[in-house]
C-alpha cells in the first residue's frame, strides 16, 4: 500500500530507534494462539505514568484476580516512540518486540486502520459500539468490526473561577449554555473589573479551532476523508471566533504547556476551555479550592449546527493480532476496559478519568460532589456532555493538516481574506497529504 506523506516521515524517523524486545513473539513472525498455558504473557504499551500507566496497572490487578497464571507487563513509552516503532515494524512485517496491547491516540488510529487493518484484532466479540459514546467509536469501527476499546473522554468543558466571574457582575447561570459571543462579553467584564485575562491562547496550537469545528460536527475533512478546508463554513466560523478572541484583549498568550498550566495555577486567567483531562492540573493550585466550577463548552452562535459539546484528545486500547497471544489480549480488554465499571469507578478517583464507557455513569464516584469545584458533580456533567459530542471523521492527517493550517490562520489574523486564503491552503494541503 502506498503510504501517505506523514506516515512516511514518521516511518523514516522511526528507523533511528532500536526496537525494544519487551513482549510478543521473539521469532519475528506472525504469532499463533496455541493455547499453551506456559506462555500466558502479554505486554502493554502506553504513555503517561500518572494517567494511562496507572490505568493499565489497575486493569492488570483486576485481570490477575481471576487469571492468576497470567503474566502482564506494562511498559511506559513516549507516544512518539510508540508511533515510530509501530510504523517501522508493521510496515516491514516484523513483529519482534511489539506489544500485544497498545494505546493509540484517536487522531492517529485511522491511519493505522487504513494501512494496517489486518494487523489489529477484531474486538467485536467483547464489546460493541453502542457500549461507548458514539463519537469515540466513529474512529475505530470499520466494515462492521470494532478494532479498539475507547478509553478516556476528551470531552471539552469550560472550567471557570466563580469568584472572578462574580466580581465581574455575572453568576453561574450566565455560564450555562454559553455562546462564544457571550463568553467574550463576560471576558471583557472580567478583564475590566479584575484585571485578569479570560483565557490563554497559543498561536502554534489550533486546539481551540479543532474543538469549535467538532462542536459543529465538522472537521478539516469530510466523512470520506477528503480535504474540505475551502468552503468549510464551520471552519470559517471557528476562525472568526478565534479572531474575535485575539482582538478582544481578553487573552493571555502562552507558548508551551508549562506556561499554559502556570497561567491558571497562578490565577492569571479566569477560565480554561479545553478537554476534561485538565482537571487534575487545575486542582494542583490547592489555594484555589472551592473557587472553581465547570460549564459546558461554548457553541458558535452563528453556526446552526454548533452545540455545547466537543472533544479534545483521547485514545483507545488496541490488540495486535499477529504478535501472539491475541486471544488473551482480547480477553484482557474485554474483562477490563470494555466492561468493568468497578475499574472505571476506581480510575475516576485515582486519575480523574472520565470514561467513555456508558455504564461508567452508574459508578458511585460519578455521582459524588467535588469539593474543589464547589461540590459540583463534575463526573455526571462530563458523562452527559460526552454523550452529546458530535461524531466526525478525524481522517488520516489531522496533525499534518494543522501544521499547514497554522500558517493560514495566522495570515487571516493578520488581515488576509479568509476565502482566498483557505482556497489557497486547500490546494497546498491536498498536495501535501496526497504524497
- Tens of pLDDT, residue by residue over 262-289, are 999 999 999 999 999 999 899 999 999 9
Confidence of residue 224 (pLDDT cuts 50, 70, 90): confident
- Residue 433, pLDDT score: 85
- Tens of pLDDT, residue by residue over 102-150, are 999 999 999 999 999 999 999 999 999 999 999 999 899 999 999 999 9
- Region 194-215: mean pLDDT is 96
Q: Taking 80 as the threshold, does the pLDDT of residue 18 lie above it?
A: no
31 close to 87: Cβ distance less than 8 angstroms: no
- Residue 30, pLDDT score: 55
One DSSP character per residue, 105-161 reads: EHHHHHHHHHH-GGGB---TTT--GGGB-HHHHTTTEETTEE--EE-B--BEEEEEE
- Residue 435, pLDDT score: 59
Where residue 2 falls (left for φ over 0; alpha for ψ -120 to 50; beta otherwise) is beta
Residues 319, 303: Cα–Cα separation, whole Å = 39
Q: Taking 50 as the threshold, does the pLDDT of residue 329 lie above it?
A: yes
What cell does 343 get? 475499574
269 close to 292: Cβ distance less than 8 angstroms: no
What DSSP element (H or E) covers 128?
none
Confidence of residue 29 (pLDDT cuts 50, 70, 90): very low
Q: Where are the alpha helices (DSSP H) in 70-161?
A: 79-92, 106-115, 134-137
Confidence of residue 249 (pLDDT cuts 50, 70, 90): very high
- Residue 16, pLDDT score: 34
Strands 292-296 and 156-161: antiparallel
Task: Count Cα atoms within 13 angstroms, Cβ side, for 83.
Answer: 19
Contacts of 102 (CB under 8 A, 6+ apart): 44, 45, 46, 82, 86, 317, 318, 320
Q: Which of 390, 427, 216, 172 is nearest to 304 (CA)?
A: 216
Q: Taking 90 as the threshold, does the pLDDT of residue 79 lie above it?
A: yes
Contacts of 2 (CB under 8 A, 6+ apart): none
Confidence of residue 234 (pLDDT cuts 50, 70, 90): very high
Contacts of 251 (CB under 8 A, 6+ apart): 197, 198, 199, 200, 201, 245
- Residue 434, pLDDT score: 78
Confidence of residue 15 (pLDDT cuts 50, 70, 90): very low
Where residue 249 falls (left for φ over 0; alpha for ψ -120 to 50; beta otherwise) is left
Residues 293, 160: Cα–Cα separation, whole Å = 6
Predicted TM-score of the model (pTM): 0.85
120 close to 102: Cβ distance less than 8 angstroms: no
Strands 41-46 and 71-76: parallel
Q: Taking 60 as the threshold, does the pLDDT of residue 70 lie above it?
A: yes
- Region 58-76: mean pLDDT is 97
- Residue 40, pLDDT score: 87
- Residue 9, pLDDT score: 36
- Tens of pLDDT, residue by residue over 30-58, are 554 434 434 789 999 999 998 999 999 99
Provide, rounded to the nearest whole percent, the portion of the chain with pLDDT above 70.
91
184 close to 236: Cβ distance less than 8 angstroms: no
Confidence of residue 403 (pLDDT cuts 50, 70, 90): very high
* Cβ neighbours around 407 below 10 Å, total: 12
C-alpha 313, offset from chain centre = 1
Q: Taking 70 as the threshold, does the pLDDT of residue 4 lie above it?
A: no
Q: Taking 70 as the threshold, does the pLDDT of residue 167 lie above it?
A: yes
Amino acid at each position: 500500500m502506498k503510504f501517505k506523506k506523514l506516515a512516511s516521515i514518521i516511518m523514516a524517523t522511526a528507523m533511528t530507534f532500536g526496537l525494544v524486545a519487551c513482549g510478543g513473539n521473539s521469532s519475528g513472525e506472525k504469532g499463533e494462539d496455541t493455547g499453551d498455558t506456559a506462555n500466558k504473557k502479554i505486554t502493554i504499551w502506553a504513555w503517561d505514568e500518572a494517567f494511562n500507566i496507572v490505568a493499565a496497572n489497575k486493569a492488570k490487578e483486576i485481570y490477575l484476580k481471576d487469571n492468576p497464571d497470567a503474566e502482564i507487563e506494562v511498559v511506559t513509552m513516549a507516544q512518539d516512540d510508540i508511533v515510530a516503532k509501530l510504523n517501522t515494524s508493521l510496515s516491514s512485517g516484523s513483529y519482534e518486540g511489539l506489544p500485544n496491547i497498545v494505546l493509540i491516540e484517536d487522531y492517529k488510529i485511522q491511519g493505522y486502520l487504513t494501512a494496517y487493518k489486518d494487523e489489529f484484532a477484531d474486538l467485536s466479540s467483547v464489546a460493541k459500539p453502542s457500549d461507548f459514546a458514539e463519537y469515540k467509536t466513529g474512529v475505530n469501527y470499520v466494515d462492521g468490526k470494532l478494532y479498539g476499546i475507547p478509553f478516556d473522554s476528551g470531552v471539552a468543558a469550560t472550567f471557570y473561577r466563580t469568584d472572578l466571574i462574580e466580581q465581574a457582575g455575572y453568576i453561574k447561570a450566565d455560564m450555562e449554555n454559553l455562546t462564544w459571543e457571550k463568553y467574550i462579553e463576560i471576558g471583557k467584564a472580567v478583564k475590566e473589573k479584575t484585571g485578569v485575562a479570560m483565557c490563554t491562547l497559543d498561536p502554534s496550537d489550533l486546539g481551540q479551532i479543532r474543538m469549535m469545528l467538532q462542536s459543529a460536527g465538522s472537521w478539516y475533512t469530510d466523512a470520506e476523508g477528503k480535504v474540505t478546508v475551502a468552503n468549510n463554513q464551520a471552519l470559517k466560523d471557528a476562525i472568526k471566533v478565534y479572531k474575535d478572541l485575539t482582538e478582544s484583549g481578553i487573552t493571555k498568550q502562552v507558548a508551551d504547556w508549562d506556561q499554559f498550566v502556570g497561567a491558571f495555577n497562578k490565577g492569571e486567567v479566569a477560565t480554561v476551555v479545553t478537554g476534561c483531562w485538565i482537571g487534575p492540573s487545575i486542582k494542583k493550585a490547592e489555594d484555589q479550592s472551592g473557587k472553581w466550577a465547570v460549564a459546558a463548552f461554548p457553541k458558535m452562535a452563528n453556526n446552526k449546527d454548533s452545540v455545547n459539546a466537543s472533544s479534545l484528545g483521547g485514545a483507545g486500547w488496541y490488540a495486535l493480532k499477529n504478535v501472539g497471544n491475541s486471544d488473551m489480549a482480547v480477553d484482557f480488554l474485554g474483562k477490563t476496559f470494555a466492561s468493568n465499571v468497578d475499574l472505571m469507578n476506581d480510575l475516576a478517583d485515582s486519575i480523574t478519568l472520565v470514561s467513555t464507557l456508558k455504564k461508567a455513569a452508574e459508578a458511585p464516584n460519578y455521582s459524588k460532589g467535588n469539593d474543589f469545584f464547589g461540590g459540583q458533580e463534575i463526573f455526571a456533567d462530563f458523562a452527559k456532555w460526552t454523550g452529546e459530542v458530535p461524531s466526525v471523521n478525524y481522517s488520516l492527517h489531522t496533525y499534518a493538516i494543522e501544521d499547514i493550517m497554522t500558517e493560514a490562520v495566522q495570515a487571516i489574523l493578520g488581515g488576509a481574506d479568509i476565502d482566498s486564503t483557505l482556497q489557497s491552503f486547500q490546494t497546498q494541503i491536498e498536495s501535501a497529504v496526497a504524497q
